[in-house]
Structure 1
Amino acid sequence: MPQSCDSILQTLILGSGPAGLTAAIYAARSRCCPLVVHGRQPGGQLTTTTVIDNFPGFPEGIDGNELMDRMRRQAERFGTQFAEEEVTRVDLKKTPFRVWVGDQCHQCRTLIIATGASPRMLGLENEWDLYGRGVSVCATCDGFFYKEKEVVIVGGGDTAMEEASFLARFASRVTVVHRRDELRASPPLQKRAMENKKIDFRWDTVVTAIHSDPQTGVTGVRLKNVKSGEEEDFSCHGLFVAIGHNPNTDLFKGQLHMDQDGYILTHDGCRTSIPGVFAAGDVQDPNIRQAITAAGSGCTAAMQAARYLDDLGVE
């Protein structure tokens, strides 16, 4: 690993989802000359979404890839540079901060972390092939597409119960599949879901396979009772996985304050426990996880980074 680093950047942004690219747009317009490191999934989770209907300004909806491409081109228009490789190491012990992209070392006065969070999946063979074609991890994003259709949701925590109640606004029937015989969700959320006549529960059950059609996507799932071992095919139009997310924060463990699940703790906007380091988007948001809120926090992070540079007296 090289010991020397490149010249000092004013702002380095890790992640190219809506938080990272919005931060890049604002940082570039503030003449902070940002460098964006794409990460392992250029464009973030939105690139796996076929139609986004809830991002303001697109009344007919927009493809996830197209939205992220537009954001990137807008950032490039103001002078943002991009690095295609992944970050392999960071050193936040002193300023300027050091970030290794592949084998190349970069120094920066401000760092914006927008590395996102990865959904926990079931580990089934075709789940990613069907992602966006009947398999979803976000009821708020995709529930509208299941009007008068039957859906299955996997999980037993707060998120699963919130998503089940939300889906019941649209779907004709919501079936909650949970591997235990009781829920982990808080009592009020349990009560609301159990009192909803459109929500059924399958206890002590797991999904072992997803059935699909090449044209229409998901057509059903295979259910297995973990106590009896009995299996059955269950017809549905959508499968929602609500078993949590893993924030992409391994690089920063031991350097930044995080909660028990690994999400970066922020205060007063997007400030982290280290002055000059900011976090935006799903990497510090375990609850909302929407494209528009990620973009908003990216804007906040970039503006706070610019003010931090002003306070340092950096031209």
Structure 2
Amino acid sequence: METNKETIKVLIIGSGPAGYTAAIYLSRANLAPVLYEGIEPGGQLTTTTEVENFPGFPEGIDGPELMSRMRAQAERLGADLRAGTITKVDLSARPFRAEVDGEKELLAESLIISTGATAKYLGLPSETKFRGQGVSACATCDGFFYRKKDVAVVGGGDTACEEATYLASLCRKVYMIVRKPFLRASKAMQERVFNTPNIEVLFEHNTVEVLGDDSGVTGALLRRNDGVEHTIDIAGFFLAIGHHPNTELFAGQLDLNEEGYIKVEGNTSKTSVEGVFAAGDVKDPHYRQAITAAGSGCVAALDCERFLLR
């Protein structure tokens, strides 16, 4: 390990809109950022089809294409973008130490964390098969494609109720598939769901299988808690059972909230360790949009630049 060391000014962990935007800004500031792309280069957007709500693309743009453009922009401006995963970090002293794929060691004067969050799925093979073809974990991203169609939302918390009411404004009918005999959501959110005529809540139901063909999702096979099975005809299957922030590397080293998201100071990107900044979904349980992630990547880069200049 001793021989294979490299010292850098800024290490960015994770790609996606936050990481690439941070790399764009830091490259323009001549800080020679090094970005490791991780196991999912481009992040969650690479699993999305059309993105219609990212400003500047009036015709819409494919998620993977948007990410490849951001990546190319960072690269053109001089960012050092590398394949590989950071497998270990030590934030106890500066320079911070990071291990790449358990082999090479990096010493970094500053660190930007943009490792994102992962949507929780039910774990059904059919759900994986139709991901991006009717199976989605983001109603605000993909709801538009199901206008005047029937869809289902899995979950019974605030997020599920929010997604269901949002989809109800676009879709003909929204089924909510809820395991328990009640909704976990706040009273206000529950009222909104029960007062929306085109939402039908299916309590004490679990999804057995997502059904579909070459065109994508066509339905879902459900099982009631008493064992009775039936199918519903739907074109979209939305998961709203939560996200899991990718913060395992930093547990015990940075302040995280109860759900595992990185805590930052006010509207900044500053974490509990000086010189370490967080951007994107890894610190954002609320908005989780490409544009907010990109914006927070800019904030992290500016905070980091000021830190290094000081």
Pairwise TM-score range, normalised by the shorter structure: over 0.9
Partner of 1:35: 34
Once the two structures are TM-superposed, the CA of residue 7 in structure 1 deviates from its matched residue by 3.5
Rounded to whole Å, the distance in 2 between the matches of 1:279 and 1:129 is 32
Q: How does 1:174-253 map to 2 (within 5 A)?
A: 174-214=174-214, 216-226=215-225, 228-253=226-251
Q: State the SS of the aligned residue for 2:255.
A: coil
- Does the CA contact (< 8 Å) of 1:5 and 1:107 recur in 2? no
User: Is residue 123 of structure 1 aligned with residue 123 of structure 2?
Assistant: yes
Once the two structures are TM-superposed, the CA of residue 4 in structure 1 deviates from its matched residue by 5.4
- Does the CA contact (< 8 Å) of 1:155 and 1:177 recur in 2? yes
- Does the CA contact (< 8 Å) of 2:150 and 2:174 recur in 1? yes
Q: State the SS of the aligned residue for 2:61.
A: coil
Rounded to whole Å, the distance in 1 between the matches of 2:158 and 2:265 is 24
Rounded to whole Å, the distance in 2 between the matches of 1:3 and 1:285 is 37
Rounded to whole Å, the distance in 2 between the matches of 1:36 and 1:83 is 6
Rounded to whole Å, the distance in 1 between the matches of 2:301 and 2:265 is 15
Q: State the SS of the aligned residue for 1:128.
A: helix
Q: Which runs of 5+ in 1 are unaligned?
A: none
- Does the CA contact (< 8 Å) of 1:52 and 1:141 recur in 2? yes
Once the two structures are TM-superposed, the CA of residue 5 in structure 1 deviates from its matched residue by 5.7
What amino acid maps onto 2:76 in structure 1? R
What amino acid maps onto 1:237 in structure 2? A
User: Is residue 294 of structure 1 aligned with residue 299 of structure 2?
Assistant: no
Partner of 2:161: 161
Superposed CA offset, 1:133-153 (max 9, x none): 100111111111111000000
What amino acid maps onto 2:253 in structure 1? Q
Partner of 2:72: 73
User: Is residue 62 of structure 1 aligned with residue 61 of structure 2?
Assistant: yes
- Does the CA contact (< 8 Å) of 2:117 and 2:245 recur in 1? yes
Q: State the SS of the aligned residue for 1:141.
A: helix
Q: State the SS of the aligned residue for 2:5.
A: coil
User: Is residue 104 of structure 1 aligned with residue 104 of structure 2?
Assistant: yes
Superposed CA offset, 1:94-152 (max 9, x none): 00001111111111111000000000001101212211110011111111111100000
What amino acid maps onto 2:282 in structure 1? V
Rounded to whole Å, the distance in 1 between the matches of 2:204 and 2:22 is 44
- Does the CA contact (< 8 Å) of 1:152 and 1:236 recur in 2? yes
How many residue pairs get aligned? The number is 308
Rounded to whole Å, the distance in 2 between the matches of 1:5 and 1:35 is 16
Once the two structures are TM-superposed, the CA of residue 286 in structure 1 deviates from its matched residue by 0.5
Rounded to whole Å, the distance in 2 between the matches of 1:29 and 1:271 is 21
- Does the CA contact (< 8 Å) of 1:15 and 1:39 recur in 2? yes
- Does the CA contact (< 8 Å) of 1:160 and 1:242 recur in 2? yes
- Does the CA contact (< 8 Å) of 1:114 and 1:279 recur in 2? yes
User: Is residue 309 of structure 1 aligned with residue 296 of structure 2?
Assistant: no
- Does the CA contact (< 8 Å) of 2:6 and 2:105 recur in 1? no
Normalising by structure 1, we get a TM-score of 0.96
User: Is residue 143 of structure 1 aligned with residue 146 of structure 2?
Assistant: no
